[in-house]
Structure formats: structure tokens, C-alpha cells
Structure 1
Amino acid sequence: METQVERQRRIGVEIPVTITTVLDSLEAAIADMTEHGAQVIGCTLPAGTRFQIEYMGQTLYAQCRWAEVDRMGVKFSFPLTDGPLHERLMLARASQLPGEAPTGTHLAYEPMQARLGGQGLRSFGRATGGFGRRTG
């Protein structure tokens, strides 16, 4: 008899973290997460590798479940119930609008344009005339 595991909806975030293995320390970012796992972008480890995720003094133990060229899915060894990463998850979940897709930038985080000062950036969306068109 097969049982269907109910998955939680992943919440899109942008959280810079440090991935630490026995041999190396790598900079990466969490792209989406739940209390039980996350998708990490910017580095990859072989499936099955156990490692630590470090963020603002918090250390989580995790295992790589799948890996591609520049991203991997990780399962936390223990559910995330407190600490800075849990607070970021709760903030992102609270700021997500009803019906909004679970990926992308949320209101809880500063948009990329604001971080870069908005200078010299062009938008390629339809609202500004489409890809490659000058608007001003």
C-alpha cells in the first residue's frame, strides 16, 4: 500500500547562506523553503552529502537529496522551528499575497533594484514596451 506524502507549499525567499562540508565552505542562497527543506542555488553537492547551513549564527544540519549544475534540493535533519531562518520563513509566508505563486520576490524582502540603487537598470517586461525597446 502506497501512502501519499502531503507536501507543504514552498515559499520563495532570497537568503544568503554558507554551506559547510567536511572539506569546504561555499557561499550560496536559499531560493525557496519550508520547515523541512529548501532549494539552494549557487552551489551543488553530490546527492546524499550531509552538510551544515549557516545563517546569522544559526547552524542547520541537512542532506542533499538531488542536485543539478547550480542548484540542489536539501532536507533538513530536524524541522525548522526557531531561529533567524525560521523568522525569515515566517515573514515571507506572512507577506505572500493570497493566490500568489510560491516563487519570486516577496514584499518581505527589498527588491533588487532598490539594493542596486536603481541606476542604469532597464526593465525588459511588457509594461515598459517589451524586450529591447527604448522607452525614454
Structure 2
Amino acid sequence: MDNFRLPAARGHKRTPVSIDVTVNGILNFVDGRITDLSEGGARVDGASMPARSRCEIHYGGQVTYAVVMWAEHDRMGVRFPYELAQGALYNALQSARNAAMIEPAQIFHSSRPPVFGRRGLS
């Protein structure tokens, strides 16, 4: 019998975001953008460091520690050794999830005056 295993499901829901951050590696600071975020990790575009290296993600005056899980030329995936439960990145994640919960039609209806036509005829 084969020892084939399916990969384990992710423990956290990933949320698309656009958050400008600074990543601190061992010798340098690199600007990047988080485009995918969860409590357990993130995808950082515009920054790349070697796999298995440790780094710091600076955002909102706070530091979040991370380990690079995979890296390509211009992006990388990081895992947080301590899950996000508070702080600036966690707040940004919650804001992005809350914004995604509002349907576009509800956003437009809430900003329209309750009148008929362009001139406000009743």
C-alpha cells in the first residue's frame, strides 16, 4: 500500500488584502506588500528572502515575527510562529474580513438619498 497522504487543510481562512509593510531580514530592510493574510501567515509580494530564514514584518509601528516557508524571485510566503490575535496586522485582517462581508449592493444603497429620480422628485 502506498504511503500517500493528502496535504493537511489550512487552519485559517486566507483573506485578500493590500497592506504595505517593511520586511527586516538579517542584513536589510525591504519594502513589500502583503496580498494574502491569515492568522497563521501571509504572502508578501515585492520582497523575497531564502526559505527557512527568519524575518520581521513591520507594520503600524509594530513588529510581527515570521519564518519564510517558500520564496520566489519577487514574493514569498511566511508563517507566523505566534498566531495573530492582536496588534496592527490583526486589526487590518479583521477590517478586510468585515469589508468583504458587506455586499456591494448594500454599500451603494446606504449612500443614496431616499428620493425618486435625479432631481429628488417624490
Query: Cα RMSD over matched residues?
Result: 2.1
Q: Which amino acid is 2:50 matched to? A: P
Q: How does 1:104-115 map to 2 (within 5 A)?
A: none
2:120 is aligned to none
Query: Structure 1: any 5+ residue segments left out of the alignment?
Result: 99-106, 108-136
Any idea what the Cα deviations from partners look like across 1:10-68, whole Å, max 9, x if unmatched? 10000000000120011101001100000000010110110100001110110100011
Asked if 1:87 is matched to 2:91, the reply is: yes
Q: Which amino acid is 1:82 matched to? A: Q
Give SS of 1:94's match: helix
TM-score by length of 1: 0.67
Q: Distance in 1 between matches of 2:7 and 2:76?
A: 23
Identical aligned pairs, as a percentage? 38
1:37 is aligned to 41
Give SS of 1:17's match: strand
2:112 is aligned to none
Q: What is the count of residue pairs matched by the alignment?
A: 100
CA apart distance, 1:5? 3.0
Q: Which amino acid is 2:65 matched to? A: Y
Q: For the Cα contact (< 8 Å) 2:25–2:49, is it kept in 1?
A: no
TM-score by length of 2: 0.74
1:5 is aligned to 8
Rg larger in structure: 2
Q: Distance in 1 between matches of 2:39 and 2:76?
A: 16
Q: How does 1:1-136 map to 2 (within 5 A)?
A: 5-7=8-10, 8-97=12-101
Q: Deviation above 2 Å: which 4+ runs of structure 1?
A: 1-6
